[in-house]
Amino acid sequence: MDVGVVSRSFPQLSNEETAKLLSEKGFKWTELCFSQTDSNYWVYNGMSDMKNFTDEESIKIVESFRNEGIEVSAIGVFTNLLETNEKEAEENLAYFERLIEIASINNVPYVSTECGFIPGKRGVNADTYEADFQRILENVKYLAQKAEKYKVSIAIEPCVLDIIPSAKRMVDFINQVGSDRVKVLLDPANLIANNSEEDMFSYLSPHIAYFHGKDRKVNDTYGRAIGDGDINWPLFLHLYHKYTEDVPFIMEYVNINNFCDIRDRVLHFNEMAAFQYK
């Protein structure tokens, strides 16, 4: 089984150093966040000023991975699509659109994001839920039009902590947006408290762009490395091969010291899947 890892796992390295390391260690894919020492533009749940980030610079970065045999499956955005401040919301959407454009220039098929959140108010809040849902729905409809223009797709990562907290709600959301340009970034750790492994694939397999590989205890707030939580990985990987063979599986919540060890856990669970689900 091929495995990838997100580029932001190596903030101490340049893009070229990251690409060479992944190649040397036998990885296939990356989700490219511009978070390396020579492209420090990535801001989780926010945005950064990219006016000095040129098309040529983006091409050089993407090619540094491709030249090492690493496929850039997506460009990570992860901005806040629930921002209520009008000026900041406009800036977030402009930031998102610029990364859609960069993905298009570089023939990267996906740009990825979570729903976003207001600090201190993350999750489903009954007094604001309907307005929040309408806000993200309209924002993604707008971005889907931009994605269609640039021939790129948007991969949204649902999470139990966010406004789209389950696999079913994700499918409902895709249907309400009404665009083939909206896909799913499936992180099983983010849904395991609301959905079984089977549920995730039952609802989402036709829409999956790629996977995040991490784990979670069902009552944890934050994720863990694969094998340190409650996901049944042999079952999950059996379903992966059954429904989504060769879709990029890209680890996160790893670092330069453990990413190969965690990858080896994936390969071990994959061997277990082949044995248990003949």
So what's the architecture of 4-276 in CATH?
Answer: Alpha-Beta Barrel (3.20)
Q: The whole model's pTM is what?
A: 0.97
Domain range summary for the chain, segments of one domain joined by +: 4-276
Q: What's the pLDDT tens digit per position in 239-274?
A: 999 999 999 999 999 999 999 999 999 999 999 999
What is the pLDDT at residue 59? 98
Q: What is the pLDDT of residues 88-145, one digit of tens each?
A: 999 999 999 999 999 999 999 999 999 999 999 999 999 999 999 999 999 999 999 9
Strands 35-36, 39-40: parallel, antiparallel or unpaired by DSSP? antiparallel
